[in-house]
Amino acid sequence: MALKGEPKSTLYVGIDGGGSKCRAIVYSTTHGVLGDGLSGPANPFQDFELAIKSITEASMQAAIKVGFNYSDLGDMTAGIALAGVNIPSVFNAMQHWKSPFKQHLVLTDLHAACLGAHSGGDGAVIIAGTGSCGYASVNGQSLTIGAHGFPHGDKGSGAWIGLQAVEHCLLAMDQLGQDSILRQKIAADNPLDLVSKVSGQPPRFYARLAPLVFEAAEEGDVIAQNILQEAGDYLSQVGEKLLSLNPPKLTLIGGITARILPYLTSKVRNKITDAEHPPEIGAILYAQNKINADTQNRKTNDHSASG
């Protein structure tokens, strides 16, 4: 099956997977984005099987919108950008996954976000979604900050904000901290009940509590405001470290971007520009560049051998 005479070999699947959701697009080198899909969490460090399930589901949704079926994915190249693949063992597992695609190339969500935001050029990004991290690529030099995972990392993220809210509620209910609008919004009246609800929950569970913290802060809750200010201060530190490389542009990406922006320092906030493209496009740019480089290397090696 082809689109307007275009072979499927010129189609790409771009994937961006994180702690809460996975997005996929089918992309034509001549017609642009043809279809998109959205599924559940895709962080293979947290849950490998769930990640590949989400990747497949989102890709299928995107393909179906174009009129393709599952087997057609086998003619397409995929760029797969994921949280968690900065861990070498996880990266290797994803690289060797028997995917439904013709071939797939794996990169971090950070790298893809930066490539997409700056159309493949130099720049920096701060991710503030379920997790948090920073990445810059300038003149061939790259810098990664964070990406350590939840709960021991991801400070300033939606999941971290939610965890801080839970910790505050437990202290308040033990009368070791002041009561607040935030505790009322979390609907926490009994510490053991709250512990039973949150114990063992994944990062996305805590990230879903973050909007309540923003709401409480907007209603004047000092506890919520302090949590968000600490998050903003950390993300500002990340931004200032990235800016030390003098990237031409800095972009803030992620689910809490709009609401956390006022808590950043003016120095960082004033440097932030809109992303030119989403991470899914960045994943495709990476795949295209990698394939072109490999093709050029083969040609060079063949020429050397024949010479």
The 10s digit of each residue's pLDDT in 238-287 is 999 999 999 999 999 999 999 999 999 999 999 999 999 999 999 999 99
Domain ranges of the chain: 8-109+277-306, 134-269
Neighbours of 85 (CB within 10 A): 27
Q: If you search the block for the tokens 């809750």, which residue do you land on?
A: 221
3-state secondary structure 282-304: HHHHHHHHHHHHHHHHHHHHHHH
Cβ-contact 43, 73 below 8 angstroms: no
Handedness of CA 120, 145, 263, 209 (dihedral sign): positive
The closest of 82, 88, 84 to 149, measured between CA atoms, is: 84
pLDDT at position 10 is 82
The string over 180-210, giving b where at least 16 C-beta atoms fall within 10 Å of a residue's C-beta and e elsewhere, is bbbbebbebeeeeebeeebeeebbbbbbebb
The pTM score is 0.85
Please provide the CATH number assigned to the domain covering 134-269: 3.30.420.40
Average pLDDT over residues 284-294: 88
Find, among 290, 257, 297, the residue nearest to 273 by Cα: 257
4, exposed or middle or buried, with CB in 10 Å at 0-12, 13-18, 19+?
exposed
pLDDT computed for residue 9 by the predictor? 57
Q: What is the pLDDT of residues 21-51, one digit of tens each?
A: 999 999 998 889 999 999 999 999 999 999 9
Model pLDDT, residue 292: 83
Q: Say how far apart CA 278 and CA 238 lie, in whole Å.
A: 21
H or E element that contains 141: strand 141-146
Phi, psi at residue 79, to the nearest 5°? -100, 120
CATH match for 8-109+277-306 among 3.30.420.40, 3.30.2010.20, 3.80.30.20, 3.50.50.60: 3.30.420.40
pLDDT tens across 179-226, in order?
Answer: 899 999 998 678 899 999 999 999 999 999 999 999 999 999 999 999
Give the pLDDT confidence of 110-128 residue by residue, as tens digits.
999 999 999 999 999 999 9
Give the N- to C-terminal CA distance of the chain in Å, as an integer: 41
Q: What tokens were used for 266?
A: 């003016």
Tokens of 194: 């709250």
- 78-108 residue pLDDT tens: 999 999 999 999 999 999 999 999 999 999 9
- 8-109+277-306 matches 134-269 in fold: yes
